Amino acid sequence: MIVIGIDPHMKTHTAVALDIATGRKIAERTVAGDTYAVETLLSWARGLGSESYFAIEDCRHVSARLERHLLGRGQRVVRVPPKLMAGTRRSARAYGKSDGIDAECVARAALREPDLPQACLSGLERDVRLLVDHRHDLVQERTRIQERLRWNVHDLDVGLDLPLRVLDRYVWLDRLEGTLLGLPETTLRRIATEQVGRCRDLTRQIRSLKREIDVLTRKLAQELLAIPGCSTLSAACLIGQTAGVSRFSSEAAFAMHVGTAPLPVSSGKSDRHRLNRTGNRRLNSTIHMIAITQARMHPPAIAYMERKRAEGMSNREALRCLKRYISRTVYKTMVQAEKARADSVVEVDFAPDPIAAAG
């Protein structure tokens, strides 16, 4: 059996095959990064004369298309985090960097970590992730324009006091636009008026995306909304960034992916753990916000934090324990949601035909 590590790029993909039993490099191949490359890659893999699976560096913006094509042809694919590949390259005896070296390190990382999450064909989870990322980009763009608009309004001395966080409200945008139109016509006034219109358009798009995300989130995992502190946007981020919770072998594997599982740093008689700074930082940030909300408002979480502090932990250490507990709850909730969704599909697929039953 062999593992084929792939270093994906926009124009080319470099693959290196390793023998699983010995770790010996068998072959290397570089193919174009188009649709026909998959057939070339599969033909080359079959020519190696052994059963194989693929390990791809997890760079979704360049690896997603290759991954979908391989999965569509029934291939087994695992995702190797870039940090894991880079760590393998740094620990190699020979120094250097090239596409071939990176592809070999991807394959060796897959051999060293047999429990890496397997890739699966993208479904609605990918749509949720794309929508959340697009909304995030629009929010950042609106924030940038709002900052410039405030400076322009200050320079124009419009005589209107703008409170914080009001430039995403139509009533304030209309009020500001009316005030600007009452000023003498200048280049700065024209720019500020266009910025007001752009803020209004972006707000409309952001709210429309929010409604669409709400619908998809409730369809995929409405159970997440029952977790205190988990809003629809937080749930959407959990769904999109997880990309199918069934690809994780256990809740501990999920916690390690999220970065909420503490890392052991024991030595000799010292037995302790330290903060985990690895993992998916978007997921970690989402769970951190849920934990902050629960620690402030949710009585069981408040009692949990007090109990941990009574054990001698600092507030930060207690919060880390709470995040680990929340990640376990999120994992179990998403597993139940996927199972319920699969059961509902089975029930629909095998529902008796009412016309046939009547006949």
Alpha carbons 33 and 10: distance in angstroms, whole number: 6
Take residue 49 and report the two structure tokens written for it. 């004369």
Do the beta carbons of residue 308 and residue 318 sit within 8 Å? yes
Q: Which of 290, 140, 131 is nearest to 220 (CA)?
A: 131
Alpha carbons 255 and 257: distance in angstroms, whole number: 5
Do the beta carbons of residue 92 and residue 100 sit within 8 Å? no
Q: Would you give the DSSP letter of residue 190?
A: H
Alpha carbons 331 and 319: distance in angstroms, whole number: 18
pLDDT digits (tens, 9 = 90+) for 317-355: 899 999 999 999 999 999 999 888 887 755 544 444 444
Q: Which residue has the higher pLDDT, 353 or 54?
A: 54
Mean pLDDT across the chain: 87
What is the distance of C-alpha 122 from the center of its chain? 13
Average pLDDT over residues 171-177: 94
Q: Which residue has the tokens 């003498």?
A: 184
Alpha carbons 30 and 9: distance in angstroms, whole number: 11
First vs last C-alpha separation in the chain = 54
- Segment among 19-23, 59-63, 265-269, 336-340 with least mean pLDDT: 265-269
Whether the predicted pLDDT of 74 surpasses 90: no
**Cα angle for residues 326, 117, 68 (degrees, 5° grid):** 120
C-alpha to C-alpha distances, 252 to 261, 329, 357, nearest whole angstrom: 7, 11, 47
| pTM across the whole model | 0.76
* pLDDT for the residue 345: 56
* pLDDT for the residue 122: 67
CA dihedral 36, 39, 43, 48 (to 10 degrees): 100
Alpha carbons 26 and 36: distance in angstroms, whole number: 23
What is the distance of C-alpha 169 from the center of its chain? 29
Whether the predicted pLDDT of 226 surpasses 90: yes
Alpha carbons 73 and 79: distance in angstroms, whole number: 17
Confidence band for 357, pLDDT divided at 50, 70 and 90: very low
Query: How would you class 289 by CB atoms within 10 Å of its CB: exposed for 0-12, middle for 13-18, buried for 19 or more?
Result: middle
The CATH label, of 2.30.30.40, 3.40.50.620, 3.30.420.10, 3.30.565.10, for the domain at 2-112 is 3.30.420.10
Strand order through the sheet with 12-19? 25-32, 12-19, 2-8, 52-57, 77-80
CA dihedral 59, 84, 112, 79 (to 10 degrees): -20
Share of the chain above pLDDT 90, in %: 47
Residue partners of 64: CB distance under 8 A and separation at least 6: 122
Single-letter residue type at 283: L
Do the beta carbons of residue 56 and residue 106 sit within 8 Å? yes
* pLDDT for the residue 356: 39
* pLDDT for the residue 126: 85
Whether the predicted pLDDT of 293 surpasses 50: yes
